[in-house]
Chains A and B, each alone.
Chain A
Amino acid sequence: MLDAGKAQDNLLEVNNIEVIYNHVILVLKGVSLSVPKGGITALLGGNGAGKTTTLKAISNLLHSERGEVTKGSVLYHGKTVQHRDPASLVKAGVIQVMEGRHCFEHLTVEENLLTGSYTRAASRAEIEQDLELVYSYFPRLKLRRKSQAGYTSGGEQQMIAIGRALMSRPETILLDEPSMGLAPQLVEEIFTIVKNLNEEEGTTFLLAEQNTNVALRYAHYGYILESGRIVMDGPAAELRENPDVKEFYLGMSDEGRKSFRDVRSYRRRKRWLS
Chain B
Amino acid sequence: MLYREAGDFKTSYEEDSQTFPIRFDRLAYHGALVVAFAIVPFFINDYWANAVALPFLIYAIAAIGLNILVGFCGQVSLGTGGFMAVGAYATYKLMTAFPEVNIFFHVLIAGGITALVGMLFGLPSLRIKGFYLAVATLAAQFFLVWLFNRVPWFYNHSASGQISAPERTVIGVPVTGPHTEAWATYLFCLVFLAGSALIARNLTRGATGRKWMAIRDMDIAAEIIGVNPLRAKLSAFAVSSFFIGIAGALFFSVYLGAVEVGEAFGINKSFLVLFMVIIGGLGRIFGSLAGAAFLVLLPVLLKNTLVGTLGWPTDLAAHLEIMIVGALIVIFLVAEPHGLAQLWRITKEKLRLWPFPH
Q: Which residues of A contact B (CB under 8 A)?
A: 20, 22-24, 26
A17 to chain B, nearest CB (A): 14
Closest CB pairs A-B (n = 5): A26-B358, A24-B349, A24-B346, A23-B346, A24-B350
Give the chain A neighbours of B101 by CB distance below 8 A.
Answer: none
Q: Smallest distance from the beta carbon of B281 to chain A beta carbons, Å?
A: 14
Judged by a CB distance under 8 angstroms, whether B198 is at the interface is no
- Smallest CB–CB gap between B70 and chain A, Å? 22
A24–B346 Cα distance when bound, in Å, is 8
Q: Which residues of B contact A (CB under 8 A)?
A: 346, 349-350, 353, 358
Residues in chain A near residue B349, CB distance under 8 A: 24
Give A24 to B349 CA distance when docked, in angstroms. Answer: 7
Contact B346–A22 (Cβ < 8 Å) = yes
- Chain B residues with CB under 8 A of A22: 346
Question: Number of residue pairs across A and B with beta carbons under 8 Å?
Answer: 10
B-chain residues with CB within 8 Å of residue A24 when the two chains form the complex: 346, 349-350, 353, 358
CA distance A203 to B310 in the complex (A): 65
Of the candidates B346, B349, B358, the one having the most CB atoms from chain A within 10 angstroms of its own CB is B358
Q: A22-B346, A23-B350 are in contact. List 8 more A-B contacts (CB 8 A).
A: A20-B358, A23-B346, A24-B346, A24-B349, A24-B350, A24-B353, A24-B358, A26-B358
Residues in B neighbouring A26, C-beta threshold 8 A: 358
Give Cα distance in the complex from A270 to B183, angstroms: 66
Question: Could you show 8 A-B contacts with beta carbons less than 8 Å apart?
Answer: A20-B358, A22-B346, A23-B346, A23-B350, A24-B349, A24-B350, A24-B353, A26-B358
Chain B neighbourhood of A23, CB < 8 A: 346, 350
A26 to B353, CA, bound (A): 12
Contacts of B350 in A (CB 8 A): 23-24
**Which residues of the partner chain B approach A20 to less than 8 Å between Cβ atoms?**
358
In the assembled complex, the Cα of A24 lies from the Cα of B353 at a distance in Å of 9
Indicate the member of A20, A22, A24, A26 with the most B CB atoms within 10 Å: A24
* In the bound complex, CA of A157 to CA of B21 (Å): 43
Q: How far is the CA of A26 from the CA of B356 in the complex (A)?
A: 13
Q: Please indicate the chain A residues that have their CB under 8 angstroms from the CB of B358 in the complex.
A: 20, 24, 26
Nearest chain A CB to B160 CB, angstrom units: 51
CA distance A22 to B349 in the complex (A): 11
Docked pose: A20 CA to B349 CA in angstroms: 14
